[in-house]
Amino acid sequence: MQKDTEKHWVTFYTKPRSEKKAFAQLERSGFEPYLPLQRRLHKWHDRKKWVEMPLFSSYIFVNIYYKQLYQVLEQPCITRYVRFGDEVAVLSETEIDALRRMIASERELFVQNMSQMKKGSRVRLISGGVFDGLEGELISDCKDGNFAVRIQCVSSVVVMNVDRQLMEFIE
């Protein structure tokens, strides 16, 4: 395990459909959780309603020191932390910032398994707005290119449609 001199965004699994409850429990316990939520129109047979749904099902991110791992695991809705071999799965501050900016845009986002994604060119958004400078990958050749941000620790990519004119290629 790495040194415990700074906080890291550690990825945890939650019980099924308990992401919001886990978020509330972690906040009450003094932790700094992050749960990316997206507004979606949910349809029932008799009505429609806008609801906030987790972007990643059964995952939550918590900014902690490694020595706090087991304190987080004591929370009732947390089942375990994500690992790659012997290493704890962490998100970089850049990935967390990218997720926050994409969520804040209120654009429709799609989460895909990384194995479904076609490899493409690295691009930087030059929109001049909230996405200015955000780096990711181009995964479509159409006019409205699909811009993807890779979230390694949950084996997923977050995809949104962005006009190709708002992108520049990174070498």
DSSP codes of every residue in 83-129: EETTEEPEE-HHHHHHHHHHHHTT---EEEEGGGSPP--EEEE--SS
DSSP state of 44: -
Same domain, yes or no: 70 and 123: no
Same domain, yes or no: 30 and 54: yes
Same domain, yes or no: 61 and 103: no
Q: Which of 33, 62, 91 is the last residue of a domain?
A: 91
The 10s digit of each residue's pLDDT in 136-156 is 887 765 656 677 777 777 878
Residue 2 lies in a domain: no
Same domain, yes or no: 68 and 102: no
In terms of Cα–Cα distance, which of 158, 116, 155, 153 is closest to 137?
Answer: 158
Residue 36 lies in a domain: yes
Q: What is the CATH number of the domain that holds 53?
A: 3.30.70.940
Same domain, yes or no: 151 and 78: no
Q: Which of 91, 116, 138 is the last residue of a domain?
A: 91
In terms of Cα–Cα distance, which of 6, 9, 7 is closest to 151?
Answer: 9
Among 12-16, 21-25, 129-133, name the one with the lowest average pLDDT.
129-133
Among 6-15, 88-97, 129-138, name the one with the lowest average pLDDT.
129-138
**Residue-range definition of the domain harbouring residue 85:** 8-91
In terms of Cα–Cα distance, which of 119, 117, 120, 33 is closest to 72?
Answer: 33
Mean pLDDT of 7-29: 96
Confidence of residue 44 (pLDDT cuts 50, 70, 90): confident
Q: Which of 91, 126, 148 is the last residue of a domain?
A: 91
Same domain, yes or no: 106 and 134: yes
Per the structure, the count of domains in the chain is 2
Lookup: tokens for 140: 């479509």
Distance in Å from the first CA to the final CA of the chain: 34
Same domain, yes or no: 16 and 78: yes
CB atoms within 10 A of CB 166: 17
Same domain, yes or no: 59 and 74: yes
For residue 123, pLDDT beyond 70: yes
For residue 1, pLDDT beyond 50: no
Residue 3 lies in a domain: no
Residue 162 lies in a domain: yes
